[in-house]
Amino acid sequence: MIAETVCSAVSAAGLGIAVVTAYRRRFLAAARIAAYSLVPVGLVMTGVVGWLSDTAFSPTAWAGFGVLAGAWLLFATTRAVERRRTGAGADGGAATDTGSIRPGTTAPASSTPALRQGQGKGQTQGQPQSQGKRPASGDDFSDIEAILKKHGI
């Protein structure tokens, strides 16, 4: 009963503000305020406010929320355990080990990367001569130096 009174008072205040706004020739804003202020009265008339107040003060309703929370917790726990089991069983922990070959996998069509496929034929002047090998200690910064020289730095 208190909730219905509060909702009616809020609606009456909102309608008063809408009238003042319309008096100031802001009709679109006044219509929007009137629409918002009619929502609490509509909720009281449909019975939603009564249902919410009955639910908020009912121990049975709170016990039902507790049961729902427990069901959700069980569901989330079983999903987490299921993901952990299937994740460890499928990989077998070999995902990080690059030296081991898992059964059922196939070799790629080409073992060389796409950038190194044209290595022997027609190398341009900008490509280093030892692409597949580690550069000597003096050549560590040769690529960076070439880029800086190109930009005049």
Task: Calculate the average pLDDT of the chain.
Answer: 78
- Highest mean pLDDT among 3-12, 103-112, 119-128 belongs to 3-12
The answer to whether residue 127 sits within a structural domain is no
pLDDT of residue 3: 83
Query: Who has greater pLDDT, 121 or 29?
Result: 29
Given a cut of 60, is residue 30 above it in pLDDT? Answer: yes
Q: Check residue 114 and give its pLDDT.
A: 54
Supply the pLDDT for residue 113. 54
Q: Considering the domain boundaries, does residue 33 fall inside one?
A: yes
| Dihedral, 147, 150, 151, 153 alpha carbons, nearest 10 | 80
80 belongs to a structural domain: yes
Q: Distance between CA atoms of 46 and 39, rounded to whole angstroms?
A: 11
Residue 63 falls within a domain, yes or no?
A: yes
Whether residue 116 lies inside any domain: the answer is no
Q: What is the DSSP string of 140-153?
A: TTHHHHHHHHHTT-
Q: Is the pLDDT of residue 46 over 80?
A: yes
Whether 12 has a pLDDT exceeding 80, the answer reads yes
Instruction: Give me the domain span that covers residue 18.
Output: 1-87
Structure confidence at residue 127 as a pLDDT band (50, 70, 90): low
123 belongs to a structural domain: no
- In the chain, what's the furthest Cα-to-Cα distance? 90
CB atoms within 10 A of CB 136: 9
Mean pLDDT of 33-49: 92
Q: Is 119 helix (H, G, I), strand (E, B) or coil?
A: coil
Q: How many domains does the chain have?
A: 1
For residue 114, being part of any structural domain is answered with no
pLDDT value, residue 139:
66
Name 102's Cβ contacts closer than 8 Å, sequence gap at least 6.
92, 94
pLDDT at res. 135: 54
What angle separates helix 48-56 from helix 27-46, to the nearest 10 degrees? 60
* Interval 24-41 mean pLDDT: 93
pLDDT at 104 over 60: no
d(CA 46, CA 40): 10
Domain for residue 46, yes or no? yes
